[in-house]
Structure formats: C-alpha cells, structure tokens
Amino acid sequence: MTRGQALLLGLAVFGIGAAGYAGFRAGGLDGFSPGIAASALLMVIVLGWTATYLFRVVTGRMTYLEQRRLHRESANALSDDELMQRFQALPPEEQERLLAEATAGEESVLP
C-alpha cells in the first residue's frame, strides 16, 4: 500500500463515520446518540478489518510471503539444463562477469 492509498483509506474511514452520523441523525436519533452510534459502527468496521489482517498473518497469506513462495517455486522449477542453456545464451562478457562474481563470492566465504 502506498502513502497515497493509506491517506485515501484514512479519508474513507472519516467519510464512513460522517455518513454514519448523518444517517443516524436522519433516522431520528438526537443529541449524542448519532455520534455514539456512528462511532460504534466505525469501531466494528475497523475491528473487522483488523481481524482480516490478523487472519492473513496467522495463515501466512501476507503479500510478501506469497511473492516469496511464488518466487521459490519458479526458481525450483528451473532445472540445471535450463540454467546452463540460459548461461550459454548470454554474451561472453556477461558470462565472464557472472563467473568472476561467483568465484569472488566463494573466496569471501572460505576461511
């Protein structure tokens, strides 16, 4: 979610509260009652939204986790032969650069 979307969501929540207040007032509630009723409605909506978020956290259905799972599945689907074909399809300069990076990485790992 971007900042702009978060701001729009916040404005939408305020709009729902205002619409609820106006609706309860038009429905015949006077004094503090429309504000209390609108606040209660808004609280139920926010608690429901939070419950869906917590459900996604508990079940592991978060966006990042889903993307990571899909990436791992696609990476595991590639066989060694496919990777070798892709490597050999690269220009020689790119092959040399990748080999240099791989050997530099191995040297930094070795004691």
User: Cβ distance 34 to 21 under 8 Å?
Assistant: yes
In a domain, 94, yes or no: no
Please identify every stretch of the chain with a pLDDT value under 50, giving residue numbers as ranges: 109-110
Please tell me the total count of domains within the chain. Answer: 1
pLDDT in tens, 74-106: 877 777 778 888 889 999 999 999 889 888 866
In a domain, 79, yes or no: no
In a domain, 97, yes or no: no
Cα–Cα distance, 37 to 21 (Å, whole number): 7
In a domain, 106, yes or no: no
Q: What pLDDT, on a 0 to 100 scale, did the predictor assign at position 109?
A: 47
Cα–Cα distance, 55 to 64 (Å, whole number): 15
- Phi and psi at 30, nearest 5°, equal -120, 165
Percent of the chain whose predicted confidence (pLDDT) is above 70: 94
Collapsing DSSP to helix, strand or coil, 67 comes out as: helix
Q: Where are the beta strands (DSSP E) in 24-94?
A: none
Number of other residues whose CB lies within 10 A of the CB of residue 71: 10
pTM exceeds 0.85, yes or no: no
In a domain, 80, yes or no: no
In a domain, 110, yes or no: no
Per the structure, the complete domain to which residue 22 belongs is given by 1-61
